[in-house]
Amino acid sequence: MPLKFVRAFLVSLLVPLGFTVPAPASAAPAAAAATSCYGGAVTVRYGEVRDFGPYVTTSRCKDINMRMTGGDADFGWACVQFERAGGCNYWTEIGRSWTTIATDVLNGTRFTVPNGVDLEGSSATFQIAF
């Protein structure tokens, strides 16, 4: 018997007796995790430094995420340079939506974010969540 029918059967038995039945679980925990991850984002401006950072990952996010929030550039480019590895992992195009630039990063990992924009002379403001 499928789970939804078992639940419906139990609800029909328990509610008339005065019991309350909690609502089924939803996607709210995943949305809350994303909100707390992005809520700790740092804002950086292209051109102020060659590489953003250094930063140290936290338990707030399991990935390193980035988005463009301002400026006249159409898009930017970024990679993650982990302190222990040295070179960039891979270059990723960054637009106005959150983009993952490194996945499954351990807490306490030191990194910098080398970056660029579509046209030299363009401006851009980014957020990095880690």
CATH of the domain at 92: 2.60.120
Q: Are 37 and 61 in contact (CB under 8 A)?
A: yes
Establish if 35 belongs to a structural domain.
no
Per-residue pLDDT of the chain (130 residues; tens, 9 = 90+): 554 545 555 456 545 555 444 444 444 555 555 668 999 999 999 988 889 999 999 999 999 999 999 999 999 999 999 998 888 999 999 999 999 999 999 999 999 999 999 888 899 999 999 9
Q: H or E element: which one contains 77?
A: strand 76-78
Q: Which of 18, 40, 38 is nearest to 30 (CA)?
A: 38
Number of domains comprising the chain:
1
Q: Using CB atoms within 10 Å of the CB of residue 126, give its burial: 0 to 12 exposed, 13 to 18 middle, 19+ buried.
A: buried
Domain region containing 79:
40-129
